[in-house]
């Protein structure tokens, strides 16, 4: 990273004005949480390891601290409720399978905490996962049998089980990718969305759950279609051709760390170009998956691969080993602030737990996808209880969730450009929160003013700093600034390579 400027004056002014709104339809930040397909039943690859109340209690306690506002639950029909085709070629569905219990535990939590959930399926059954079972394979995104199955499933979850937390549906993960069941075919995905939307209307579900999309990866273009459209065109095409069917717009963001540190996360994913298109439609635009991932072939990419190879339980092709590192917390907060200031309605971290997915989702214990805040099955599948511990980045990500609840008005602060320093703010009823990430090599003194707050109030300050220059451990500190008058200014200093949040919310 280019060195940050060393001539920033002491007490640089930061002004948070209520009229500088970047998002007024904020859903909130959150996490991707899957229902443990390798450990959800006796028939799963690892057996019923997650049929363990103590594991779920630990997960609930950790998420209660985080208070995610937005959770994405992607699944596969053949993992959960689809048992194949009958003699007439029609799907056999069963919502009483043991595999459903893990999903219910997850959704029970979301329902009880009033969390907005986007649910969906990775791809067309047996085109994605368990592809060898060709006799049960459906035809594509617009196969009416799959559409009917989805409607039955949603009717069961919403009407029979009462999961009113389900607000959005994803039809196919990252449909512009060569890894998707659509193989980058926009028209196939488009027809699937139209068919599903029509069926939602006919079933009386449209007012309860809306389709979100496209969930594309803007910086990837499938070669077969490069003459027609690129990855960055999917949101534009969706606004033009599917606005009647979509209730929210979405992309996925996998960002090189250097782009984040240069303040270029939004531009890298074309979000700045797509945001005005979505706002013209009056609908929220969120990031359905966000993480850091180095571009293929770069030195940083190869460094991550080599590091992953040192762990016998890790899939080098699809892991981010920096989740163990202190700096990942600074970088992810830096990125989320950039999207919040650009109008993002919510950012969903990929992901909660290493125990959720393996490479290709084949259930190989030596091919875990390392992206999480922990591995809740570290003891059982890795013989490593320490792997169940919370990793550093959990804390700043938690602050971006809990102190910016759903329906917060996100405010973009005004301050002189300080390279490597990112700041966002939010107002929820009478409470304010300010989130800062200093990705610079030096500390910064700031004078923070909220001109509309004349009443003296208490601010709680939480800091995420490196415990020692030679360690990857984080030091989490908290203190209270009592009876300050924000209109007159609050003097703070944010250390180098750190995260800070100031909030009037009570802990």
Q: Strand, coil or helix: what is 485? A: coil
Q: Are residues 489 and 459 in the same domain?
A: yes
Q: Which residues contact 420 (CB under 8 A, 6 or more apart)?
A: 1, 4, 261, 263, 438, 439, 440, 441
Task: Flag whether 321 is in a domain.
Answer: yes
Task: Flag whether 486 is in a domain.
Answer: yes
Residue 36, phi then psi, degrees to nearest 5: 50, 65
pLDDT of amino acid 10: 57
Spatial CA neighbour of 172 closest among 107, 136, 236, 128: 128
Q: Are residues 311 and 344 in the same domain?
A: yes
Give me the mean pLDDT over the 141-164 stretch: 98
Q: Over 60: is that where the pLDDT of 498 sits?
A: yes
pLDDT of amino acid 2: 39
User: DSSP label at 295?
Assistant: P
Task: Flag whether 6 is in a domain.
Answer: no
Report the run of H or E that residue 193 belongs to, with start and end: helix 186-202
Q: Are residues 453 and 389 in the same domain?
A: no
Q: Are residues 167 and 242 in the same domain?
A: yes
Angle between the N-to-C axes of helices 234-241 and 271-280, in degrees from 0 to 180, rounded to the nearest 10: 10
Task: Flag whether 170 is in a domain.
Answer: yes
Q: Over 50: is that where the pLDDT of 5 sits?
A: no
* CA–CA separation, 265 and 256 (whole Å): 8
Q: How many domains does the chain have?
A: 2
pLDDT digits (tens, 9 = 90+) for 398-436: 999 999 999 999 999 999 989 999 999 999 999 999 999
Tokens 């973009």 locate to 412
Q: Are residues 36 and 148 in the same domain?
A: yes
User: Domain boundary at 375, 402, 429, which?
Assistant: 402
Residue 486: which CATH number?
Answer: 2.60.40.1180
* CA–CA separation, 158 and 114 (whole Å): 14
Q: Are residues 203 and 247 in the same domain?
A: yes
How open is the CA angle 230-232-238, to the nearest 5 degrees? 95
Q: Are residues 247 and 137 in the same domain?
A: yes
Q: Are residues 164 and 236 in the same domain?
A: yes
Instruction: Look up the domain containing 471 and give its range.
Output: 12-20+412-503
Q: Are residues 427 and 368 in the same domain?
A: no
Q: Are residues 72 and 215 in the same domain?
A: yes
Check if the beta carbon of residue 24 is closer than 8 Å to that of residue 407: no
Residue 155 backbone zone (phi > 0: left; psi -120 to 50: alpha; other: beta): alpha
Give me the mean pLDDT over the 286-314 stretch: 96
* CA–CA separation, 255 and 148 (whole Å): 36
Check if the beta carbon of residue 115 is closer than 8 Å to that of residue 71: yes
pLDDT of amino acid 136: 85
Burial class (CB in 10 A: 0-12, 13-18, 19+), 299: exposed
* CA–CA separation, 167 and 118 (whole Å): 6
User: Domain boundary at 369, 402, 435, which?
Assistant: 402
Written as six digits, the tokens of 304 are 């991550």
User: Domain boundary at 364, 380, 402, which?
Assistant: 402
Q: Over 70: is that where the pLDDT of 4 sits?
A: no
pLDDT of amino acid 129: 73
| Structure confidence at residue 495 as a pLDDT band (50, 70, 90) | very high
pLDDT of amino acid 282: 97
pLDDT of amino acid 469: 86
* CA–CA separation, 447 and 445 (whole Å): 7
Q: Are residues 380 and 439 in the same domain?
A: no
Give me the mean pLDDT over the 98-116 stretch: 97
Q: What are the CA-CA distances from residue 281 to residues 19, 223, 503 (Å)?
A: 22, 30, 33
Distant-in-sequence contacts of 131-134, Cβ < 8 A, 24+ apart: 133/78, 133/84
Q: Strand, coil or helix: what is 394? A: helix
* Mean pLDDT across the chain: 95
**Choice among 265-269, 337-341, 469-473 with the minimum mean pLDDT:** 469-473
User: DSSP label at 182?
Assistant: T
Q: Are residues 397 and 344 in the same domain?
A: yes
pLDDT of amino acid 127: 83
pLDDT digits (tens, 9 = 90+) for 49-89: 999 999 999 999 999 999 999 999 999 999 999 999 999 99
pLDDT of amino acid 11: 84
Residue 364: which CATH number?
Answer: 3.20.20.80
Give me the mean pLDDT over the 334-343 stretch: 99
Q: Over 70: is that where the pLDDT of 9 sits?
A: no
Q: Over 70: is that where the pLDDT of 8 sits?
A: no
Give me the mean pLDDT over the 211-227 stretch: 96
């Amino acid at each position: 990273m280019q060195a940050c400027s060393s001539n920033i004056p002491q007490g640089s002014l930061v002004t948070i004005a209520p009229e500088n709104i970047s998002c007024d339809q904020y859903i909130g930040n959150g996490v991707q949480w899957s229902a443990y397909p390798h450990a959800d039943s006796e028939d799963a690859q690892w057996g019923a390891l997650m049929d363990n109340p103590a594991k779920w209690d630990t997960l609930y306690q950790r998420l209660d601290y985080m208070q995610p506002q937005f959770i994405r639950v992607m699944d596969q029909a053949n993992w959960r409720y689809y048992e194949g085709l009958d003699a007439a070629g029609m799907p056999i569905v069963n919502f009483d399978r043991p595999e459903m219990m893990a999903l219910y535990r997850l959704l029970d939590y979301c329902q009880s905490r009033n969390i907005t959930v986007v649910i969906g399926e990775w791809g067309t059954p047996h085109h994605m996962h368990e592809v060898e079972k060709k006799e049960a394979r459906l035809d594509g995104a617009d196969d009416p049998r799959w559409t009917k199955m989805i409607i039955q499933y949603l009717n069961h979850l919403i009407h029979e089980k009462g999961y009113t937390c389900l607000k959005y549906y994803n039809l196919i993960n990252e449909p512009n990718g060569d890894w998707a069941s659509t193989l980058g075919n926009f028209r196939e995905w488009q027809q699937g969305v139209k068919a599903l939307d029509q069926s939602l209307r006919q079933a009386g579900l449209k007012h309860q759950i809306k389709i979100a999309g496209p969930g594309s990866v803007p910086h990837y273009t499938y070669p077969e279609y490069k003459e027609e459209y690129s990855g960055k065109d999917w949101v534009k095409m969706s606004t033009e051709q599917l606005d009647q069917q979509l209730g929210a717009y979405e992309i996925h963001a996998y960002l090189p760390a250097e782009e984040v540190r240069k303040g270029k996360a939004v531009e890298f994913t074309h979000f700045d170009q797509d945001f005005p298109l979505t706002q013209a439609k009056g609908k929220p635009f969120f990031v359905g998956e966000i993480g850091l991932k180095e571009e293929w072939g770069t030195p940083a990419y190869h460094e991550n691969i080599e590091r992953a190879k040192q762990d016998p339980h890790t899939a080098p092709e699809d892991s981010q080993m920096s989740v163990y590192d202190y700096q990942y917390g600074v970088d992810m907060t830096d990125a989320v602030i950039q999207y919040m200031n650009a109008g993002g309605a919510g950012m969903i971290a990929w992901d909660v737990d290493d125990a959720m997915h393996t490479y290709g989702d084949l259930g190989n214990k030596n091919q875990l996808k390392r992206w999480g805040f922990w591995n809740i099955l570290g003891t059982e599948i890795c013989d490593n209880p320490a792997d169940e511990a919370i990793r550093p980045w959990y804390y700043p990500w938690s602050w971006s969730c809990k102190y910016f609840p759903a329906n917060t008005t996100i405010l973009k602060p005004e301050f002189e450009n300080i390279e490597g320093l990112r700041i966002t703010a939010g107002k929820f009823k009478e409470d304010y929160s300010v989130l800062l990430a200093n990705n610079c090599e030096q500390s910064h003194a700031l004078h923070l003013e909220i001109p509309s707050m004349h009443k003296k109030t208490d601010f709680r300050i939480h800091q995420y700093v490196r415990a020692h220059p030679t360690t990857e451990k984080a030091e989490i500190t908290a203190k209270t600034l009592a009876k300050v008058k924000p209109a007159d200014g609050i003097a703070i200093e944010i250390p180098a390579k750190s995260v800070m949040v100031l909030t009037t919310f009570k802990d």
